[in-house]
């Protein structure tokens, strides 16, 4: 069976989605299409703050465009589906967001994103805009690669970085403080994901890989690529500990530790399923004495219409927790 | 000729745009064998933008190089922005200055340093750097001998071609080709070949 999607023209997929975002959230975001940017609507009388800019390939929505607004990003720079925005596009995002106190770039660790955001940072610095980069590399499935290789991919921990740094920026933190804070969140976050079914690119007829009915793909990323291996399909009570265990080991979590848990759908996983995943995660962490202080359960960092989920744990102290709990008002995250 | 005129710079850039379009299929085929096959698409899109920028009539060698640089920095992928930063050093070096062979040598030396810093590639990694480094060395050596711009650029073209040819036997350490390992051995790196075509374009085609 072919995969059917709500698409008019695959070439216009991202730009038409951005038009929809603008129409849905005129009070929060200002969308421009050439270059493609989503910028927070500035309110009169707001004191200048350090601006937060993120972005990357499209297809991961609501990341990053849905996280523009008070308490999170000042601008998001969307590329084509699964392709980095260009260096000039990122530079335009930096200039649109800058309020004179510097710009923090939050970049998921992919070769194209790192290169284009780094170039944009250099170009902006030449125009006397202070820029710092926080690199997010939380995906455990890509841990332990070659020396000098691309390293771990960036996935759902980017939500925690954007939320926590966003809250600190609203309170007047400096660029250097925000960069340090963002790196602290990254170093305390790890993620593992599994897919029940691959995603289908807009306009394509077939999913990006095939899976047998009795297996799941373990360690997938967010670009429809295969993971690190297949495992037998089973009840959530078996699949969830298999995701959580390596994260606990990698972070060295022990009895008495506190975490923020992000149970994330990869695109077409039902909210009821994600709640079951969270139930199993809670039981598993409870069993080893790790306390979930706050949980975010829903589809926030997606791989188009992939069926599957990721689990991210962020080891937290009272500072990180307090910033996570601070108010936020964006199209996709608000409390 | 001891300095690069605006007319020469413009003719050079125009020929590069034309050669890139002519060689598109060859470069895409190399990338299909050794990468993910999108090199030609990205190059074509960058060169189309370059042609538009150049049609605005840049008034100095600086503006010619800038027109090409900005086109590449507006292009996706990883080779596009690296080329954008490479051309940008030529634009910077040519700003409010007579462009001698020495200036070109200095520009090419700075340019490859920027590409190596951003792309983290060394000579021998089977990337564009394998043509950029010998071209910069040839320009600098020619300038030291007192060669004119045209002679220095011709020597840079030969050196870049030799550098590009050397990538054929290499196993990739950086860039897309590093993902396909042995499959890329026996394939010239399309980025390195593009550098050679760029320096070729400095001289009118021989009949």
> What stretches of A217-270 show up as alpha helix (H) in DSSP?
236-251
Number of domains in chain B: 1
Within a domain: A110? yes
Contact A71, A167 (CB under 8 A): yes
Q: Dig out the tokens for A272 from the structure.
A: 């009821």
Within a domain: A331? no
Among partner residues A85, A118, A148, which is closest to B118 by beta-carbon distance? Answer: A118
Rounded mean pLDDT of A102-116? 96
CATH number at residue A211: 3.30.1180.20
SS3 (DSSP) at B162 = helix
Q: Is residue B75 less than 8 Å (CB to CB) from chain A? A: yes
Q: Dig out the tokens for A172 from the structure.
A: 């007047």
Asked if the bond preceding A62 is cis, omega within 30° of 0, the reply is: yes
Tens digit of each residue's pLDDT (9 = 90 or more) over A253-302: 999 999 999 999 999 999 999 999 999 999 999 999 999 999 999 999 99
A179 and A193 together in one domain:
no
pLDDT for residue A80 is more than 50: yes
Within a domain: B206? no
A133 and A96 together in one domain:
yes
Would you list which residues of chain A are within 8 Å, Cβ to Cβ, of chain B? Answer: 79-80, 83-89, 111-112, 115-116, 118-119, 123, 148
Q: How far apart are the first and last CA of chain B?
A: 21
Residue B24: domain span: 6-200
| Residue ranges for chain B with pLDDT beneath 70 | 1, 35-37, 174-181, 206-207
- Give the integer Cα–Cα distance in Å for B40 and B28: 4
A99 and A224 together in one domain:
no
The phi and psi torsions of A17 (rounded to 5 degrees) equal: -65, -40
Burial of A146 (0-12, 13-18, 19+ CB in 10 A): exposed
Which residues, including other chains, have CB under 8 Å from residue A245's CB and lie 6 or more apart? none
Express as a percent the part of chain A with pLDDT over 70. 98
List of chain A residues whose C-beta atoms are within 8 Å of the C-beta of residue B80: 86
A169 and A214 together in one domain:
no
Which residues face A136 on adjacent strands?
A108
Within a domain: B35? yes
CATH number at residue A73: 3.40.50.10440
Within a domain: A322? no
Strand order in the sheet with A189-197: A229-232, A215-218, A189-197, A307-315, A258-265, A291-298
List of chain B residues whose C-beta atoms are within 8 Å of the C-beta of residue A123: 73
- Domain boundary (A138, A168, A188) is at A188
Within a domain: B173? yes
Number of domains in chain A: 2
Express as a percent the part of chain A with pLDDT over 90. 84
A139 and A59 together in one domain:
yes
Burial of A44 (0-12, 13-18, 19+ CB in 10 A): exposed
pLDDT for the residue A148: 66
Within a domain: B1? no
Q: How far is A87 from chain B (nearest CA, A)?
A: 6
Mean pLDDT of chain A: 94
Residue A154: domain span: 11-188
∠ CA A285-A332-A155 to the nearest 5 degrees?
A: 50
pLDDT for residue A2 is more than 60: no
pLDDT for the residue A207: 86
A157 and A213 together in one domain:
no
CATH number at residue B16: 1.25.40.340
Tens digit of each residue's pLDDT (9 = 90 or more) over A243-267: 999 999 999 999 999 999 999 999 9
Tens digit of each residue's pLDDT (9 = 90 or more) over A158-171: 999 999 999 999 99
Tell me B169's DSSP state: G
Within a domain: B207? no
pLDDT for the residue A92: 98
pLDDT for the residue A1: 42
Rounded mean pLDDT of A227-242? 95
């Amino acid at each position: 069976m072919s995969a059917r999607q709500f698409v008019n023209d695959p070439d216009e997929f991202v730009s038409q989605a951005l038009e929809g975002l603008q129409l849905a959230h005129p009070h929060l975001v200002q969308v421009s299409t050439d270059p493609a940017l989503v910028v927070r609507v500035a309110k009169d009388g707001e004191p200048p703050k350090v601006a937060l800019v993120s972005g990357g390939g499209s297809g991961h929505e609501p990341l990053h465009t849905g996280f523009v607004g008070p308490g999170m990003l000042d601008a998001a720079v969307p590329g084509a589906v699964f392709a980095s925005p260009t260096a000039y596009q990122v530079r335009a995002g930096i200039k649109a967001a800058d309020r004179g106190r510097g710009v923090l770039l939050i970049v998921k660790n992919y070769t194209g994103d790192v290169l284009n955001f780094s170039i944009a940072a250099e170009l902006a610095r030449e125009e006397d805009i202070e820029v710092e980069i926080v690199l997010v590399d939380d995906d455990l499935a890509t841990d332990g690669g070659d020396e000098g290789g691309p390293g771990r991919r960036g996935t759902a921990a980017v939500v925690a970085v954007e939320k926590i740094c966003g809250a600190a920026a609203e309170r007047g933190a400096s660029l250097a403080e925000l960069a340090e804070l963002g790196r602290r969140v990254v170093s305390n976050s790890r993620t593992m994901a599994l897919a029940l079914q691959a995603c289908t690119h807009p306009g394509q007829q077939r999913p990006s890989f095939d899976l047998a009915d009795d297996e799941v793909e373990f360690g997938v990323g967010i670009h429809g690529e295969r993971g690190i291996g297949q495992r037998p399909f089973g009840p959530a009570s078996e699949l969830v500990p298999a995701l959580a265990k390596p994260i606990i080991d990698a972070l060295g979590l022990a009895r008495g530790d506190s975490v923020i848990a992000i149970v994330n759908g990869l695109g077409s996983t039902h909210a009821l399923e994600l709640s079951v995943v969270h139930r199993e995660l809670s039981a598993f962490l409870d069993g080893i004495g790790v306390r979930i202080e706050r949980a975010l359960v829903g589809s926030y960092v997606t791989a188009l219409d992939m069926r599957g989920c990721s689990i991210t744990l962020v080891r937290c102290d009272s500072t990180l927790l307090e910033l996570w709990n601070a108010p936020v008002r964006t199209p996709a995250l608000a409390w | 000729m001891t300095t690069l005129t605006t007319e020469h710079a413009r003719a050079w850039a125009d020929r590069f745009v034309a050669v890139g379009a002519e060689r598109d299929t060859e470069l895409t085929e190399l990338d299909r064998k050794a990468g993910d096959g999108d090199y030609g698409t990205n190059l074509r899109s960058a060169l189309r933008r370059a042609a538009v920028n150049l049609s605005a009539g840049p008034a100095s060698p600086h503006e010619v190089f800038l027109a090409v640089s900005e086109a590449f920095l507006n292009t996706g992928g990883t080779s596009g922005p690296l080329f954008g930063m490479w051309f940008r050093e030529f634009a910077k070096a040519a700003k409010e200055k007579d462009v001698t062979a020495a200036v070109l040598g200095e520009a090419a030396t700075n340019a490859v340093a920027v590409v190596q810093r951003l792309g983290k590639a060394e000579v021998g990694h089977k990337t564009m750097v394998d043509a950029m480094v010998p071209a910069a060395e040839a320009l600098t050596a020619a300038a030291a001998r007192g060669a004119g711009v045209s002679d220095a650029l011709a020597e840079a073209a030969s050196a870049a071609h030799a550098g590009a040819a050397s990538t054929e036997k290499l196993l990739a350490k950086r860039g897309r080709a590093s993902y396909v390992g042995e499959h890329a051995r026996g394939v010239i790196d399309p980025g390195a070949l593009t550098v050679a075509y760029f320096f070729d374009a400095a001289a009118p085609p021989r009949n």
